Amino acid sequence: MSNKEQVCVTGAGGYLASWLVKLLLSKGYIVHGTVRDPSDNKNAHLKKLDNATENLKLFKADLLEYEGLCTAIEGCIGVFHVASPLPSPGEYVPKEQLMEPAVTGTRNVLNACSKAKVKKVIVVSSVAAVALNPNWPKEQIMDEECWSDLEFCEAIKNWYFLAKTAAEKEAWECAKRSNLNVITVCPSLIIGPLLQPTMNATCLYLLNLLKDGSELVENRTTPHVDVRDAAESLLLVYEKPEAEGRYICSSHEISTQDLVDKLKLMYPQYNYPKSFSEGMVWTRVSSRKLQDLGWKYRQLEETITDAVKNYEERGVLAS
């Protein structure tokens, strides 16, 4: 990377985006970050990052406002499109509230990238755009060739999976139309410590297991990835000239019950679910393509330790 290369990160104040901004600043990039309100206290953590004073500029921009995105992206060599709506566990969000920011937002960002003649665009998709495919052979590990089935997502009313799949497909359509160099990364459930002041949906997943104390919880097997490893994957595919296409980003698959057993051994003092019902088992996903590019990931225990310490320091978990 040439010194002082300028890049844009959408949704800069979010969970994954905050870690990406921190990483980019540490590597000497000048970062344009889009946020809904630069003066909002929930973005204050970004201004405190190392090198932020000189190399971070926050722009007021909404995914549905094309002009604001153009202003933020102007002059940038690369763009990381991270912003996307994510419901909290158990929260119902209507289809339109997920689809419009995901699909129209992606189109707006990529059109702004085309206008600004951006050299490379990294779009954060999700394993949600990979894993919901009833036609994929059950015993076959899912790779980048597998796509969630839009009709199936629609039929079972899984609007989040529908939105992420439709948004990634839109990214590839835009890439074809505009001849943009686009790469998509599909992280699994992101966990680990957070930089932003408010708990987000994926943080609540782990926090709820530590303090819920429910009588019965669904024992689903879920792929996870550390938020810092996910941020590293985005920079890796951006910086590697040979990177192309889609990349699944996932490190550990574990059932809810096994995760709780691990947490109990590490932190016996917390209030865990009492019993487990049989739950969904995700078809396994492979990050081999990303690993072949040079991606490495942390052990699950390190992620858990750093996350729990972070929750305790914030007072959301009484130590």
Q: Give, rounded to a whole angstrom, the gap between the first and last alpha carbons of the chain.
A: 43
- N residues, the chain: 319
Token pair for 257: 């019950």
Q: Please calculate the CA angle 86-93-68 and round it to the nearest 5 degrees.
A: 55
Which residue has tokens 């970062």?
31
Q: How far is the CA of 305 from the CAs of 76, 301, 309, in angstroms?
A: 37, 6, 6
Catalytic residue flag (residue 262): no
- Crossing angle of the two packed helices 227-239 and 15-26, in degrees rounded to 10: 50
HEC secondary structure over 2-28: CCCCEEEECCCCCHHHHHHHHHHHHCC
Cα separation, 111 vs 104, in Å, equals 10
64 Cβ contact partners less than 8 Å away, ≥ 6 residues apart? 100, 101, 104, 105, 108
Which residue has tokens 């690993």?
291
Instruction: Pick the catalytic residue from 22, 120, 164, 169.
Output: 164
CA 116 to chain centre: 25
Residues labelled catalytic: 164
